[in-house]
Structure 1
């Protein structure tokens, strides 16, 4: 079976093109002359720091470059999806908006977004896009979401514990087990490796790492790979960390990622899958752990990296935009160069271009470089289909995990049930 690391099988390329605009673009990514025009942009808020000052600076630069006025509206993440749906139905969408990586395909499927494939090619950015973000922004063979920023999950561990026990960062699944055994024996009150049952993005790395698939498109039908031999091998390993080796705790059967983080902050966890945005939170809430934690890419089964889901945002251009060249000029300004780097610095997320990730990759910081490496070399996307949101809403993967961890089902039965449910949902419109 082909490993689904960073790209989905190509679909038939839709015969869509950008509507010609009245602006004076050079056609090769050059500056747009749009004096007197206005561009409306929606930016999400609720998890990021206040960015009003940042966008004031962006607006000034945008006006100087294009002559157009930038109107930024801040939308709460919690309300954003419903607001998008309402605006799409009423044809009142903004010109450009920040779209979550799991929403882009949905809005593209609804016909609300303009493809930006040609713009990206003309700007010479096609090969610079972080592949996992590019994948989640692609629908029916066209790019609808320009990678803006992302976070990724890797393996975070207590470096002080590892040093004390003479352990090195795991580079294989066997290494994880060996480290867990030593920690379990030396520190019986510590959870060697937390295995939460209500955190689906912590499950998929083991599926992909074993060579399995979450789901893939076969012809016109989505087929879940959760019940394949390879996927089962990965899920068996992950759940065995709790059920066979006793590295986790029975209470973790219902844990979310936030519960793992809380217990890590309390000094109870030695290893866990955590997001690149969490180390700062750990140090903030548990100052005594400063200098005592590190990260490493999620190990591959025998070597290399097990792919991890990239979470983050795209910038998408809506079909209602009157001047799509102007909209692209803004998107390019935000995702390349100065402003992309500044946004990453302010928010703690990574930019969506490989070239902008180089400083992080060359960093000696044990809480920066590993995540950057994971993102570039082992970043992946959940199935890019509007229906995958319904799979998440049904909590198919979490229910599967909880049934295994609680002993209610075997890996074979649980994965069979999950795959069956996933197939039904993914192929229902």
Structure 2
């Protein structure tokens, strides 16, 4: 399940090459080849995205339904994919179907290298699409990519520690969450290595949940332009709750780094942490050297301040698109239609992913951790769909700087949010 690590990571800024160069897909013609003619449909999906059982069945069914068509399926590594896609999309012979990280999609759409799918949304099962991934595939009022799959964070916790601390059920509100922390600290706090909640200072994905739960956002949209919104009372309230969690849990996680530095799943796996905010695949990492923990781990959605509700969650994931220079756009649309159908979306869910084009998440319910992700997924959201976001996320992320400055006391709440607001607006302006 580590595929999600790469999906969540933002892409570098895109500067498309102006000179054409050879890609690996399609035919040499400039338009769709005639029906019945031997054709090759080149598909680029990312390493770990689709189970082999899914792609084998999909390609067999597609080729049988399209006489003379061969699917050339190429699995791409995430490392270096930005440059490889940039080169391929600038050529006259790109692949016909590509997978994009959802934070990459707006930048490629803005460059004009993706096919406009606005008129195909209904045929591509648009009524089943995840709203968060649909939004990331939009640009300037048009749809340039479709959802593929997603993942979102939840609270991963030790069931045995909860039981020993007298916590009868997972929290269903922020108040209950804080109460659980209090009980855990009372039970295990005498151990200096114990942490009721491991929460590093720069987990901005978790911060988004708290800001959204307060009714705020990190930016507002006007056409294709975005303006930072971190100085609103709602955004500040989300940041204050983050600090409340840090203070209540007494976490020893660094305030100047994120959940990957050090890898929080490794810390959790040492057996002294009761909770972490993470993704389902992190359980495998946590238990790699501690298999005895596997039966003691479960999950629950990040709770809302409103009792009985779940907080909104950031959904990272992948989108699917057709390059504007594809020689087989008609076939590519048929391919997407099949891949986004109930049959193959169910197979994605059975593999542990949140399917991008299905409202049926029942296959995820067999595992308690995946079940919690599925429950939270119903309230998923995305980051601003702007070409600038990939650079913001991959660079000196103002949200991370804001968190560290506030949590360490280097800046007041007002100063930290004001400085981050200015930095975001500058990034939006320069990257648009």
TM over 0.5: yes
Whether 1:101 aligns to 2:102 is yes
- Number of the residue aligned with 1:351: 355
- Number of the residue aligned with 2:141: 141
In structure 2, do the counterparts of structure 1 residues 288 and 69 end up closer, same or farther at CA, with 3 Å as the change threshold? same
In structure 2, do the counterparts of structure 1 residues 241 and 253 end up closer, same or farther at CA, with 3 Å as the change threshold? farther
In the alignment, structure 2 segments of 5+ residues that lack a partner are 1-29
Normalised to the residue count of structure 2, the TM-score between the two structures is 0.85
Aligned partner (choices 231, 237, 254) of residue 233 of structure 1: 237
In structure 2, do the counterparts of structure 1 residues 116 and 231 end up closer, same or farther at CA, with 3 Å as the change threshold? same
Tell me the distance in 2 between the aligned counterparts of 1:372 and 1:34. 42
Whether 1:248 aligns to 2:251 is yes
Whether 1:118 aligns to 2:130 is no
Tell me the distance in 2 between the aligned counterparts of 1:135 and 1:328. 19
Whether 1:401 aligns to 2:398 is no
Contact 2:152 2:373 in 1 (8 A): yes
CA apart distance, 1:265: 1.3
In structure 2, do the counterparts of structure 1 residues 354 and 170 end up closer, same or farther at CA, with 3 Å as the change threshold? same
- Number of the residue aligned with 1:59: 59
CA apart distance, 1:252: 5.0
Whether 1:41 aligns to 2:47 is no
Tell me the distance in 2 between the aligned counterparts of 1:344 and 1:70. 23
Cα-to-partner distance string for 1:146-197 (whole Å, 9 max, x where unaligned): 1111111111111211122221211121112111111112112321122212
Aligned pair count? 394
Normalised to the residue count of structure 1, the TM-score between the two structures is 0.85
Contact 1:195 1:239 in 2 (8 A): no
- Number of the residue aligned with 2:88: 87
Aligned positions of 1:10-49 closer than 5 A: 22=32, 33-45=35-47, 48=48
CA apart distance, 1:278: 2.4
- Number of the residue aligned with 1:181: 182
Tell me the distance in 1 between the aligned counterparts of 2:362 and 2:249. 39
- Number of the residue aligned with 1:417: 419
SS in 2 for 1:267: helix
Cα-to-partner distance string for 1:261-283 (whole Å, 9 max, x where unaligned): 11111122212211133234334
Tell me the distance in 2 between the aligned counterparts of 1:34 and 1:422. 51
In structure 2, do the counterparts of structure 1 residues 38 and 338 end up closer, same or farther at CA, with 3 Å as the change threshold? same
- Number of the residue aligned with 2:333: 328
Tell me the distance in 2 between the aligned counterparts of 1:126 and 1:256. 34
**Pairwise CA RMSD of aligned residues?**
2.3
Tell me the distance in 2 between the aligned counterparts of 1:427 and 1:410. 26
Tell me the distance in 2 between the aligned counterparts of 1:103 and 1:157. 32
Cα-to-partner distance string for 1:6-48 (whole Å, 9 max, x where unaligned): xxxxxxxxxxxxxx97578xxxxxxxx5541111111112xx2
Contact 1:34 1:326 in 2 (8 A): no
- Number of the residue aligned with 1:300: 304
Tell me the distance in 2 between the aligned counterparts of 1:88 and 1:183. 53
Aligned positions of 1:383-398 closer than 5 A: 383-392=384-393, 393-398=395-400
Tell me the distance in 2 between the aligned counterparts of 1:327 and 1:394. 37
In the alignment, structure 1 segments of 5+ residues that lack a partner are 1-19, 25-32
Contact 2:230 2:417 in 1 (8 A): yes
CA apart distance, 1:426: 0.6
- Number of the residue aligned with 1:198: 202
- Number of the residue aligned with 2:375: 373
